[in-house]
Amino acid sequence: MPSVAAEVQSGELRAFLKAIGDPRPVEAFRQETVPPTFLYCLFQLWSESPNAVIDVVGLNGLAVLHASQSFEYFGPVRLGGEVHFTAVVGKPYEKRGGTRVFIPVEVTARDCEGRTVCEMSQLLVVVAS
C-alpha cells in the first residue's frame, strides 16, 4: 500500500468533532492534540480511495467489520500538522471453520520529521454471508 501524506485541516477536524459530538472548538487544537481516534480518520480521508485498507485486501462487496482497534501515541498531532501514514496488511487467518476471516492491519503515523507519533493496530473480520 502506498504511503499517505495528510494535513490536519480545520474543516475536516471540525466535521469530525461534530460527528462525535466533541464540544471543543476547532481552534483549541492549535494547542491540544487531536482527538484520539481522529488519526485513523485522517488516514482514511487522505487515502486515494475511501476504505483504503478494504480495497487493498480486495474485500469490496463483503461485510467487513472491526474486531479490535488499538492506538499507541508517542507525540502530539495538532491543527495544521502534517502526518505521513504507512499501512501494512498482515496475513489473514480463519476461525470458526472458515466462516470468519481475520485480517490484521498496522498503520504507522509519522510527523514531517519522520518521528512516529502513533501506531494503530486493527483487526478486521470478514463475515461470510
Residue matched to cell numbers 480545520: 10
Q: How far apart are CA 125 and CA 68, in angstroms?
A: 9
Contact pattern for other proteins over residues 71 through 90, marking x by CB under 8 A:
xxx-----------------
Torsion sign over Cα 88, 91, 92, 96: negative
In whole angstroms, how close is the CB of 94 to other proteins at the nearest point? 18
Output the smallest distance, CB 50 to other proteins, in A.
4
CA atoms of 13 and 11, how far apart (whole Å):
5
Binding footprint of other proteins on the chain (CB under 8 A): 12, 15-16, 18-24, 32-33, 35-37, 40-41, 43-47, 50-51, 54, 62-73, 129
